[in-house]
Amino acid sequence: MSRLECSVRNEIGDRGRPGKFQSEHRYHDTRKPILKTQIMRKLAVNILLAIILTASGAAVVTAQASAGPQLETARRNLMPVPASVNWRAGRLPVSKAFTVAFTGQTDERLRKYVFRALRRLEGRTVLEFSRDAANEPATATISIETRSTGNAIPRLGDDESYQLDISADQAKLTAPNTVGAMRGLETFLQLLEGDKDGFYFPAVSIMDRPRFLWRGLMIDSARHFQSREVLKRNLYAMAAVKLNVLHWHLTEDQGFRIETKKFPELHLQGSDGLFYTQNEIREIINYAAERGIRVMPEFDMPGHATAWLVSHPEIGSAPGTYKIERRPGIFDPTMDPTNEKTYKLLGPSFAEMAKLFPDAYMHIGGDENEGKQWNANPRIQAFMKKEGIKDNHELQTYFNKRILKFLQKNGKIMMGWDEIFQPDLPKDIVIHSWRGQKALAEAAKQGYQGVLSNGYYIDLAQPAYRHYVVDPLPADTTLSPEEQKRVLGGEATMWAEWVSAETIDSRIWPRTAAIAERLWSPREVNNVDDMYRRLANIEWRLEELGLTHRRNQEMMLRRLAAGRDISAHQTLVSIIEPVKEYRRYKERRQTMLSPLTGLIDAARPDAPAAREFNKAVDEIAAGVKVRENLARIRAMVNEWRAAEEELQATVDNSPALAEAKQLAVNLASLNRVLLESLDSLARGSRRNAEWRAEKMKALDEIAKPAAALEFALVTHARKLVEAASADRA
């Protein structure tokens, strides 16, 4: 990356993720959500005029919204959408006589998975099933056939396919192995429906298999330590949406989170006591394996390694002592690749970790080493000269090759961020791309396998569709079929600067389900509205697994309001969102020790009422259900107005909400703008240019973040103002 980019991103605490400029570039390329004012004016005005002229009558435009009934029926609540779905007539009722039969090769893992699935089904239906196995496949409610058990510890390339056939008499799930059956069981659970006649599974034939083999979630346990409980419930949710890799970010500037027997000073001095014992690591690996999920550890080096240097300053590239880093950002401390002591520490460490983690892959990070300590160290400079190493990138490659030997010796395959990519490394390493599809494609052309994370940075508080539209292999790819195979998949990345046990679920879910669909389902499954429809469903279903993404919001609001009524705050968080990308770093300076209990932490991406408002405006612009949508908008605005006074009162008396004062002011201002626009549209009267300018200026003010939060409907509010003041001649 260029120095210019680097300095900008440095300031805002970026580190090898899609930076502000990059990501704007990237997302604007893939989606064009905003119509140009000019076009908008014409379009909206024409439609609105037409409607206003027929306001008294029945001539209302009734075109279907894009995710119409067909799609709803085709996909019901399935997420990810299977490769092939054929609905049949009929339904399989669910009663307390529900039974399961196993045939073929069955292992304990599958039986436990089925046991848990049945408990979830009981939980939803409030029916108690018999615990006795029905070993009569012909009469069981669901018969599960697995041809082999497969790998007890999942591996890359495991066959995850399954076939699910449901008739009015029986469900039949067939899979080549246990992990395929697990995937099929999750589909089965998502099929449950109910109506006045009771619970049932619709008759269907599903053939399913993943599009990509590598479908991961990276959890950063280093910047903020994450308890086993947090990891477990998220692993449970990963399985529910068919993700299969937990990429576990374990060492960082801010913490060394894993017990080492050989060098216990590493975790004892580098973690504030917040680390996983090796038994706990095994517990998590086992928990993941029981859900068909691989666990790949990451030990980030040579940068992002301050926590190593706290107890081993001798392997740092600058003299002196090191302290656990408390700030977010990119920092100078870097391992010294020219010092043999570095390898004396790393060699045995990798050997120990290689034994602990059964997965074939090991991630060494490698990102965001800016080489400042290397540049400043004469001994390192002398070494480079002597060895003919011409720049820091080559020096890092030298380092990587030494590390690679340790990994190979322990039977592991190396994975690292884009920066490790260097054509003379062996072809079995895996490139993890924060740079994007282009970098990934380039590596693939040169014979390297890769995994995409650019576009899947869920820490950046972007709406789900932003991630959903990112395809590791876009339709216009120029890669040959052989090269395409090297694009293994993708990973959502939960960087943990701003997440606690209370909030992490809400930063991962439900949006990661949209990414999971991108990585599992056919490329053609890409209707954003239908994705959101199904996401709303999976959102509450995931909480049955113990996740807290939704229920914690109100708890946090209650604490902020110190017991006062929170309905006004609920209204507020339904239309505001945390600022996107890296703006939070600038707008609300915090450290790793700061409380994550503010309004920004309670707020979530994809603010639901804002999305509803925006959709209504878009539909009006598209001539869809114009009158209904206008009425819907008015009802929403009335609700927001009703919250104004109470919000103001609570904010005034709750010091923890003091930073939200401006938001309360802006809400009132926004409501005025919207009401005037609606009134004008309803009357069919045109507002003049002065009015328009005034409202646009007001919206500019409203658009400014306060407390690192922003109204998620300003763009669409502008459209309404535009329409109210548009020339209707």
Q: What positions carry a catalytic annotation?
A: 368
How far are the Cα atoms of 48, 610, 628, 678, 727 from residue 682, in angstroms, in the given order?
9, 21, 12, 6, 15
Pairwise CA distance, residues 373 & 333, whole Å:
7
Cα-Cα-Cα-Cα torsion 576, 543, 520, 155, nearest 10 degrees, comes to: 130
Position among 5, 554, 612, 628 found at the interface with a copy of itself (CB under 8 A): 554
Residue 685 in contact with a copy of itself, rule: CB under 8 A: no
Cα-Cα-Cα-Cα torsion 279, 283, 286, 290, nearest 10 degrees, comes to: 170
Main-chain phi, psi angles of 332, to 5 degrees? -75, -35
* Closest CB to a copy of itself among residues 281, 622: 281
Shortest spacing between CB 229 and a copy of itself, in angstroms: 6
Nearest to 99 by CA among 64, 67, 143, 59: 143
Position among 379, 438, 445, 551 found at the interface with a copy of itself (CB under 8 A): 551
HEC states along 619-666?
Answer: HHHCCCCHHHHHHHHHHHHHHHHHHHHHHHHHHHHCHHHHHHHHHHHH
Nearest to 316 by CA among 338, 298, 300: 338
Residue 522 in contact with a copy of itself, rule: CB under 8 A: no
Position among 34, 152, 376, 562 found at the interface with a copy of itself (CB under 8 A): 562
Position among 5, 107, 122, 694 found at the interface with a copy of itself (CB under 8 A): 122
Candidates 140-148, 295-303, 540-548, 710-718; binding stretch for a copy of itself (CB under 8 A): 540-548
Main-chain phi, psi angles of 622, to 5 degrees? -90, 5
- Please count the other Cβ atoms lying within 10 Å of the Cβ belonging to residue 580: 20
- Residue 280 burial (10 A CB sphere; 0-12, 13-18, 19+): middle
CA 117 to chain centre: 24
Position among 184, 416, 598, 705 found at the interface with a copy of itself (CB under 8 A): 598
Residue 286 in contact with a copy of itself, rule: CB under 8 A: no
Residue 484 in contact with a copy of itself, rule: CB under 8 A: no
Residue 662 in contact with a copy of itself, rule: CB under 8 A: no
Shortest spacing between CB 542 and a copy of itself, in angstroms: 10
Position among 591, 635, 683, 685 found at the interface with a copy of itself (CB under 8 A): 591
Q: Give every CB contact of residue 239 below 8 A, 6+ residues apart in sequence.
A: 182, 186, 291, 292, 293
- Interhelix angle 178-191/228-240, nearest 10 degrees: 80
Q: Per DSSP, what are the bridge partners of residue 195?
A: 198
What x/- string results for residues 213 through 242 when contact with a copy of itself is judged by CB under 8 A?
A: ----------------x-------------
* Closest CB to a copy of itself among residues 124, 209: 124
Shortest spacing between CB 227 and a copy of itself, in angstroms: 9
Pair of tokens at residue 314:
């001798």
Pairwise CA distance, residues 84 & 490, whole Å:
22
Pairwise CA distance, residues 456 & 434, whole Å:
9
Residue 195 in contact with a copy of itself, rule: CB under 8 A: yes
Residue 597 in contact with a copy of itself, rule: CB under 8 A: yes
Q: Give every CB contact of residue 124 below 8 A, 6+ residues apart in sequence.
A: 192, 199, 544
Cα-Cα-Cα-Cα torsion 22, 25, 30, 36, nearest 10 degrees, comes to: 150
Please check whether residue 681 is in contact with residue 724, taking contact to mean a CB–CB distance below 8 angstroms. Answer: yes
Candidates 81-89, 376-384, 487-495, 539-547; binding stretch for a copy of itself (CB under 8 A): 539-547
Residue 124 in contact with a copy of itself, rule: CB under 8 A: yes
Q: Per DSSP, what are the bridge partners of residue 256?
A: 251
Residue 475 in contact with a copy of itself, rule: CB under 8 A: no
What x/- string results for residues 486 through 515 when contact with a copy of itself is judged by CB under 8 A?
A: ---------------x--------------
Residue 550 in contact with a copy of itself, rule: CB under 8 A: yes
Please check whether residue 640 is in contact with residue 561, taking contact to mean a CB–CB distance below 8 angstroms. Answer: no
* Closest CB to a copy of itself among residues 354, 538: 538
Candidates 62-70, 309-317, 544-552, 579-587; binding stretch for a copy of itself (CB under 8 A): 544-552
Main-chain phi, psi angles of 366, to 5 degrees? 90, 0
* Closest CB to a copy of itself among residues 243, 547: 547
Nearest to 270 by CA among 321, 204, 208, 202: 321
Residue 17 in contact with a copy of itself, rule: CB under 8 A: no
Shortest spacing between CB 539 and a copy of itself, in angstroms: 8
Position among 441, 515, 560, 721 found at the interface with a copy of itself (CB under 8 A): 560
What x/- string results for residues 63 through 102 when contact with a copy of itself is judged by CB under 8 A?
A: ----------------------------------------
Count of chain residues binding a copy of itself (CB under 8 A):
49
Pair of tokens at residue 200:
């049932």
Candidates 209-217, 397-405, 458-466, 549-557; binding stretch for a copy of itself (CB under 8 A): 549-557
Q: Which of residues 694-713 bind a copy of itself (CB under 8 A)?
A: none
* Closest CB to a copy of itself among residues 62, 591: 591
Residue 544 in contact with a copy of itself, rule: CB under 8 A: yes
Shortest spacing between CB 294 and a copy of itself, in angstroms: 25
Q: With the C-alpha atoms ordered 644, 645, 648, 650, is the resulting torsion angle positive or negative?
A: negative
* Closest CB to a copy of itself among residues 230, 335: 230
Pairwise CA distance, residues 582 & 560, whole Å:
24
Candidates 189-197, 310-318, 387-395, 619-627; binding stretch for a copy of itself (CB under 8 A): 189-197
Candidates 163-171, 212-220, 547-555, 616-624; binding stretch for a copy of itself (CB under 8 A): 547-555
Residue 280 in contact with a copy of itself, rule: CB under 8 A: no
Q: Which of residues 630-659 bind a copy of itself (CB under 8 A)?
A: 652-656, 658-659
Residues contributing to the site for a copy of itself (CB under 8 A): 119, 122-128, 131, 194-199, 229, 501, 536-537, 540-541, 543-544, 546, 548, 550-552, 554-555, 558-560, 562-563, 590-591, 593-595, 597-598, 652-656, 658-659
